[in-house]
Amino acid sequence: MNHNITAVIPVRKNSVRLKNKNFINFVHKKSLLEIKIDQLKKVKYIDDIVVSSDSLKAKEIAEKKGVRFHLRDKYFASSKCSGGNFFKNLAESISGDYIVYCPCTSPVITNRTYNIFFEKFLKLKKKYDSFNTVSELKTFIWKNHKPLNYNLLNAPNSQDLPRNYHALTFGINIISKTKMIKYKNIVGKNPKFIILSKFESIDVNDKVDFELAKLIYKKYFK
């Protein structure tokens, strides 16, 4: 049975740490939003692309690129709205059996990675309830002055640290619409983590991230 897969690109009008980061020139006179739309258009597994935003600039770009636009209510685009309520409202507002959550702040993801991600999803979707890209945390992690992932009295070499610590990159995420509403999240109760390479894991939050991502993008997307 085929299922409709809708990719959603969430875009806030007012980014906090880097003003207008989604709309300013990133590379080749294209913004992060334009680059993400172009990337998703090349993914054969996606049936529909929706830009969800409270920004009229995002609407202009969506229309120019020939993808759908969802006008987000100001509350659900504000810092007053919790992440859970944001995800729930987003899923309720978008059509499709499966929602692919793809922020444009992850610009350095290759077409090969998208294909691998969706091939694993189609093969294993009955076994897992969400698929999410992550980066592997191979570092010495502490919380409240205590180590979390190693024994302080028997510290390993960094390469021998446990491989079961991960950080969500938010690059590519897929979950059924019903479960996204139920869990109010893009991560299910039994997720399948897809580990990204270090350069593909970059998430643009501030000016430093923006400039670093630009350098990496120019190197790998000639």
pLDDT, tens digit (0-9, with 9 covering 90-100), for 39-93: 999 999 999 999 999 999 999 999 999 999 999 998 898 888 999 999 999 999 9
| pLDDT above 70: residue 206 | yes
The whole-number pLDDT of residue 1 equals 46
What SS3 class is residue 4? coil
Confidence category of residue 100, pLDDT binned at 50, 70, 90 = very high
Predicted model pTM: 0.92
Across the chain, mean pLDDT equals 93
Report d(CA 30, CA 36) in Å as an integer.
10
User: Are residues 174 and 100 in contact, defined by beta-carbon separation less than 8 angstroms?
Assistant: yes
List all residues 6 or more positions away from 179 whose beta carbon is below 8 Å from its beta carbon. Answer: 129, 130, 188
Report d(CA 136, CA 196) in Å as an integer.
8
pLDDT tens figures, 26-52: 998 999 999 999 999 999 999 999 999
Closest C-alpha among 130, 186, 127, 192 to residue 166: 192
- Strands 98-101 and 130-136: what pairing? unpaired
Closest C-alpha among 39, 102, 94 to residue 65: 39
pLDDT tens figures, 159-187: 898 988 899 999 999 999 999 999 999 99
